[in-house]
Amino acid sequence: MIRLDGKTVAEHVKQRLLPRIEHFKSKIGRSPHLVVVLVGDDPASQVYVKNKQLACEKLGMKSTLLRKPANLSQADLEKLISELNTDDAVDGVLVQMPLPSHLKSDKIFELLDPSKDADGFSYFSTGLLWAGKATVKPCTPAGVIEILKYYKIPLKGKNVVVVGRSHIVGKPVAALLLDENATVTVVHSHTVNMQEYTQNADVVVVAAGKPHLLGKNDFKKDAVVIDVGIHGTGKGNLHGDVRFEELEGWVSAATPVPGGVGPMTIAMLLQNTVSLAEKRKF
């Protein structure tokens, strides 16, 4: 079984960005600039945001973190987004999810300027994605495709099953797989006998958000398994939606957790920010 190493692919993406960042600096006189808005004290979000900042700085990009209290009002958050929309020194904006329960993420997706939508979640960006015209693509789904391409896993004409239909992963990854000319089926919690679909797939992308949901018996021999799930409390205690240890000797390739899709999310965020900066300024 080939271990699909997201860290290796992420580093490849970052190295590919370096000349683009230097070119932007030479033309515009500053680095591409990502602003991350963090509302509240969610521990996992704080770790993710810190990693995003470190990755930006390592590539010579500018990263600004705007921390806001958990009791921030909807009106104040919308005001902040409007200000960032009009700030010419800002190229990409990311509002870290999840937001506190009293805040409406839908409103933020509507309000955020698509030309600065670093996460690719605005409804305008989603429309472009399904039309096959996206400037930026949602980071985790784009990372899945990048891994498959890096390891030269063919998608054209292949039977691909996506487990999960979230706005963040399931739906957009299905759109990107269709763009690669795969035959795509999306299964979810209301699918009757989901195993019938996963057992017949050449590639399975698992984004159900349920720990250890699927194992060896859910996949056909020599399938490719991409596990997007991540669960646990620490580096030594992380696991995915798939029981990875069962797959050895059965599937042809699979992503581990951690170290699979996870590192790609940040790499694709950086790529999105650079792409948005270039589109705005060049």
What are the catalytic residues? 52, 96, 119
Between CA 241 and CA 170 the distance in angstroms is 13
Residue among 251, 164, 13 nearest 174 (CA)? 164
The set of residues, in sequence order, having a beta carbon less than 8 Å from that of 240 and lying 6+ positions away, is 206, 211, 212, 227, 228, 229, 230, 231, 255, 256, 257, 260
Going by DSSP bridges, is the β-strand pair 159-163/203-206 parallel, antiparallel, or unpaired? parallel
Omega prior to 211 cis, within 30 of 0: no
CB of 279 closer than 8 Å to CB of 115: yes
* Helices 262-281 and 6-28, packing angle to 10 deg: 20
Give residue for tokens 């990107």. Answer: 176
Which among 166, 204, 208 is positioned nearest to 185, based on CA atoms?
Answer: 204
Q: In one letter, which amino acid is 13?
A: V
Calpha distance 78→67 (Å, rounded)? 15
The number of CA neighbours under 13 Å toward the Cβ of 212 is 6
Query: Nearest Cα to 184, choosing from 209, 203, 206?
Result: 203
CA distance 282 to 279: 6
